[in-house]
Chain A
Amino acid sequence: MCLAIPARVVQIAANDQAIVDLGGVRKDISLALVEDVAVGDYVIVHVGYALTRLDPDEAEKTLALMAEAGIAPEAA
């Protein structure tokens, strides 16, 4: 079970590189596998790649559900 934790894109650099915020921690990731991602969007990250772009409503719903289950307090 690899949990799909939404990460917020905080900075986009050249060559599809970006920085995301995941519960207060920043990580370098690649956007090569997703299209039309802007700063502020949420993405699902796996082994350094953003795999899916989420709309903000969906991302917030997921984060709320995780918080409700007590598994991602910092991220919510």
Chain B
Amino acid sequence: MTAPGADLEGRLAITLTRRGDAAAEARIVSSRPQLAQRLMAGREPQRAAELAGLLFTLCGGAQRVAAESALAAAGGDAASGDPAQQIEARVLAELAREHVWLLLARGPELTGLAPAAEALLRLRRAEADAEDLARTLDALLVERVLGEPAAAWLGRDAAGLADWIAGGATLAAAFLARIADAPAGRPTALLPPLRALDDATVLDLARQALEQPAFCARPTWRGAPAETGALARQRDAAPVADWIARHGHGHRARLLARLAELAGLPARLRGADGPAVARAWPLGEGAGVAGVETSRGLLLHVARLVAGRVADYRIVAPTEWNFHPEGPLAAALAGLAPDDTLADRARHAVLALDPCVAFGVEVIDA
């Protein structure tokens, strides 16, 4: 008997083939199942929204917000039942938790550093109250993440960020120092962040998801794969923009974008204005779409109701954008030199894009 967990969660298998001195050839295979239709079809909208919150491990809050919003839009309401402020607080808390998980636990652990489990516990204990969470995050940023107040770190230019990494004064800086940076072998477009998504783009993505379920497993924008996540959202923010101008879209750019986003979260949690983290659009004829910004990128839910029940349900998750066989990871792996550090450098590329399932890297000598 196989473990249902292993099968249902799926995983990413990355294979690198070496042929002599030529650059390694990368292949990305995802076994993540597309279960949205099976789980949601036939249910009443209220039940379907509750289910979405229960069923997903890492981003249950975002999944629930996306489901409620998409189902409300499908039913003809512009907004979901929850007040906007409550939705934003829920999405931001999850964003903070997932960024901290990668920067202080998962990332360090996979690069040979001791993970800071207690940092995550502190954050989780504070999650119920936005001010408590903001205060806890402020402290964590100074003690374990940035080593200085957020405003000072956000004021650094590319050279200042390089100094910060090299100094390795915090666990997050030490983690970034272990990530061998590499600019993408070829460019991948950045998906517009939710705040900048125009109606025509959203409607087009939603229509493709509804009409071709395979689109959800390998989404494209303007006919090509695209990257979503902190880099796409933070590309114009001062420290990240300066870094990109000098170093391109490499692994460190992605991680610095997460840091910049995390550094801005205490202010957002205290009510500072920021870009929308959740939006919904009615599509007409009983259909609706909603987008939520998660730590790994844009999460889209598309729903179609018939006679008050879910008839069609699609989820386009960020891991499917970033780990598309010809997408951002493929670009990051393209052209890696076939030396002894190949497997480690491939793992760094995967880690910087942070898949929401387990992954394996295998090197084959052909």
Q: Are B56 and A3 in contact (CB under 8 A)?
A: yes
Task: Name the one of B6, B51, B54, B317 contacting A1, with C-beta atoms under 8 angstroms.
Answer: B317
Report B97-113 residues with CB < 8 Å from chain A CB. 105-106
Interface residue? A7 (CB, 8 A): yes
Q: What residues of A have a CB within 8 angstroms of the CB of B363 in the complex? A: none
Q: What residues of A have a CB within 8 angstroms of the CB of B315 in the complex? A: 1
Alpha-carbon distance A7/B5, docked complex (angstroms): 9
Alpha-carbon distance A17/B4, docked complex (angstroms): 22
Interface residue? B358 (CB, 8 A): yes
Task: Name the one of B4, B9, B105, B120 contacting A2, with C-beta atoms under 8 angstroms.
Answer: B9
Report B56-84 residues with CB < 8 Å from chain A CB. 56-58, 60
Q: What residues of B have a CB within 8 angstroms of the CB of A71 in the complex? A: 4, 8, 35, 38-39
Bitwise interface map of B from 34 to 55 toward A, beta carbon under 8 Å scored 1, else 0: 1110110000000000010011
A38 to chain B, nearest CB (A): 17
Q: How many residues of B contact A (CB 8 A)?
A: 35
Task: Name the one of B4, B32, B55, B121 contacting A22, with C-beta atoms under 8 angstroms.
Answer: B4
Task: Name the one of A3, A47, A51, A58 contacting B8, with C-beta atoms under 8 angstroms.
Answer: A3
Which one of B54, B56, B106, B357 has the greatest number of beta carbons of chain A within 10 Å?
B54
Task: Name the one of B5, B33, B34 contacting A5, with C-beta atoms under 8 angstroms.
Answer: B5
- 7 A-B residue pairs with Cβ-Cβ distance under 8 Å, sorted by A, are A1-B36, A3-B8, A4-B55, A5-B4, A16-B117, A22-B3, A71-B35
Q: Give the 10 A-B residue pairs with the shortest CB-CB distance, closest first.
A: A25-B3, A32-B117, A4-B57, A23-B4, A72-B4, A2-B57, A22-B5, A5-B5, A2-B356, A3-B8
- Residue numbers of B with Cβ under 8 A of A are 1-6, 8-10, 32-36, 38-39, 51, 54-58, 60, 105-106, 115, 117, 120-121, 124, 315, 317, 356-358
